[in-house]
A and B are shown apart, each in its own frame.
Chain A
Amino acid sequence: MSEYVHADARGASVGLVERREFVLEQGLEVACGLRLAPVSVAYETYGTLNRDGTNAILVLHALTGDSHAAGYYAGEDAKPGWWDIMIGPGKPLDTDRYFVICSNVLGGCMGSTGPASIDPQTGKPFGSDFPVLTIGDMVRVQRRLLDHLGVDRLLCAVGGSVGGMQVLEWSVRYPDRVFSAIPLATTTKHSAQAIAFNEVARQAIMADPQWNGGHYYEGARPGHGLAVARMIGHITYLSDESMRHKFDRRLQDRCDLSFNFEADFQVESYLRYQGNKFVERFDANSFLYLTKAADYFNLEKEWGNGSLVAAFARARARYLVTSFTSDWLYPTYQSKAMVQAMKKNGLDVSFCEIEAPWGHDAFLLPNERLDTLMGGFLERMERELEKERARKTTAAGANGHAL
């Protein structure tokens, strides 16, 4: 997820919000077999859970996002949460109707347990002793958070990019707990190209002498490596067209080439700026672990013995799948493959490839089409969930009668 977050005037803000913490004292055994305990999860909620517990929406953030999806923190915060355009009163994720939950992923560095957390065994930060995680591990922790919040079933799980992978994992791992799902700009498994970009980014971090095998918390941090990693990621979030539009070959603060290795071009200066800004807020080890989890994600291998159709045979959710025309990180063919597998399983699925020139990041930008799709889909899900509950009540009543 890029820094490309816009404030928005189309709906009201959820206002001041507060980051909370949930601690899973007994922790959990992660996919690689190691036990992690305790586990902390940073999360925020907006809106109110209704009495029947039927209006909860779980928002899953992208690679380097956090729990701060909407609203503002008191005093310190000039920018709203990363999806403030989508979450709030009158917005598609309408907080007057829905109870919206967003947590920072396991392995992250924005309040949840990750490589920078203290290892209770040693009293020092885990660093590279932190276990390698999977998207499934993240989802298992989120499930515990929902248990804690008293949410038995989600009206919807929604997220883009790596958040979309979590949406898919949720719907297949816990089919009875996900009434509907909106995976945006995502994939059921990384292409070789996506893994390649991640590997170059990881190598940039590990080549920084300050990385020190992952144990750098007591000294200088591998800022340069992390900045380069971010620059690589950032390129994949944009598109040829959006870069041409934003920068073309325009020069930065000069009228001619410098004939040295300063940032001559605006695009160079922009990437350096984004890279440096990222270093201030993100931990290099978390970047390594999260990109690896994304690379490992393989829904068909994990749940379908290699078959995506078999993997979705477990799912019960109604889906809204969305891709963007200029997304070259997770191109439309990947969304179409999941739609195809859903259809073969007789699942209720809607799909739209949205025309957008801004590349992978399009799901974070104001987009009327996306608003309409999500708003309309969620309203239908509310109606359908209500109908399902009415049917069950009637059936239970009829059974009671017979007895």
Chain B
Amino acid sequence: MRFDLQVIASWIEPGSRVLDLGCSQGVLLEKLTQEKQVRGTGIEQDEAKAGQAIGKGLSVIHGDIYEEVRDYPDLAFDYVVLSQTLQQVIDPSTLIREMLRVGRRCIVSFPNFSYWKHRVQFLLRGCAPVSRELPHEWHNTPNIRVIPIADFKRFCRDLGVPVLREVAIGNHHHEDRGKVVTFMPNLLASYGIFLLGRE
């Protein structure tokens, strides 16, 4: 399993109710169900991925995360996870508020735009960065947000959302092994993972 998902899984208490937004084929939910007896639900926009996840025996809704998250009552979940999807979200503040309405805690992970390799590319070549973490060209990227770790923290402060825990990691997110970056994470980490609480 991806290293960032391992970190996320380690933050979730056994037996919790978990909503995974953009759950893809349900790798995280499957692990949490098997190893931590969580009651999990996923939301996935891609029909094939949602279908595979349901076929694995997970509870998954095929649909748009904005629309689907709205239907849940307040505090329906202990954790709401948004992993590697924030950079594609049109209205992050609305979504994060909704996540914290339906969940007690919210876990967000995203590629760090201010990673030094991205900075070098822009500085030396003057080009939009293309990397293992952000593999798309400007014209075909699904990512509509650039999110440096430092900016995300400021965003949470402005939104009045407390950051309860944060980890920066330095590896390619598809790799199973990675390392936690504690020194200058805004420069040296490729991904940020945040645990947010309610106000």
Mark A residues whose CB is within 8 Å of B: 318, 320, 336, 339-340, 343-344, 346, 348-355, 369, 372-373, 375-377, 379-380, 383
Contacts and interface: CB of A to CB of B under 8 A. Distances in A.
Contact of B73 (A344, A349, A379): A344
Given A350-B60, A351-B63, A354-B47, A377 B54 contact: yes
Given A343-B72, A376-B56, A351 B62 contact: yes
A373 B51 contact: yes
Contact of A353 (B59, B62, B68, B76): B62
Given A340-B71, A343-B71, A377 B63 contact: no
Contacts, number: 63
Contact of A372 (B55, B58, B59, B68): B55
Contact of B59 (A344, A348, A369): A348
A343 B43 CA distance: 12
A318 B57 CA distance: 12
Interface in B55-101: 55-63, 68, 71-73, 76
Given A343-B72, A344-B71, A352-B54, A336 B63 contact: yes
Contacts of A353: 47, 62-63
A377 B41 CA distance: 13
B169 interface: no
A379 B41 CA distance: 17
Given A346-B76, A372-B51, A377 B57 contact: yes
B80 to A, nearest CB: 14
Given A348-B41, A380-B58, 14 more contacts: A320-B54, A340-B71, A344-B72, A346-B76, A348-B39, A348-B59, A350-B58, A352-B54, A353-B62, A353-B63, A372-B55, A376-B54, A377-B55, A380-B57
Contacts of B47: 352-355, 369
A353 B67 CA distance: 15
Contacts of A339: 61, 71
Contacts of B8: none
Interface string B156-177: 0000000000000000000000
A373 B60 CA distance: 10
Given A343-B72, A344-B73, A346-B73, A369 B63 contact: no
29 contacts: A318-B59, A339-B61, A340-B71, A344-B73, A346-B73, A346-B76, A348-B41, A348-B59, A349-B59, A350-B54, A350-B59, A350-B60, A351-B60, A352-B47, A352-B51, A352-B60, A355-B47, A369-B48, A369-B51, A372-B51, A372-B54, A372-B55, A373-B51, A376-B55, A376-B56, A377-B54, A377-B55, A377-B57, A383-B57
A372 B71 CA distance: 26
A380 B52 CA distance: 14
Contacts of A383: 57
Those 4 A-B pairs whose CB atoms lie nearest each other, nearest first: A380-B57, A376-B55, A372-B55, A343-B71
Contacts of B61: 339, 343, 349-351
Nearest to B48: A369
A234 B87 CA distance: 46
A379 B57 contact: yes
Interface string B128-159: 00000000000000000000000000000000
A369 B52 CA distance: 8
A383 B72 CA distance: 26
Contact of B55 (A336, A349, A373): A373
B46 to A, nearest CB: 11
B32 interface: no
Given A344-B71, A354-B47, A372 B57 contact: no
B189 interface: no
Contacts of A320: 54
B43 to A, nearest CB: 10
Interface in B28-55: 39, 41, 47-48, 50-52, 54-55
Nearest to B57: A380
A352 B42 CA distance: 12
A352 B50 contact: yes
Nearest to B67: A336
B59 A376 contact: no
A83 B52 CA distance: 23
A342 to B, nearest CB: 9
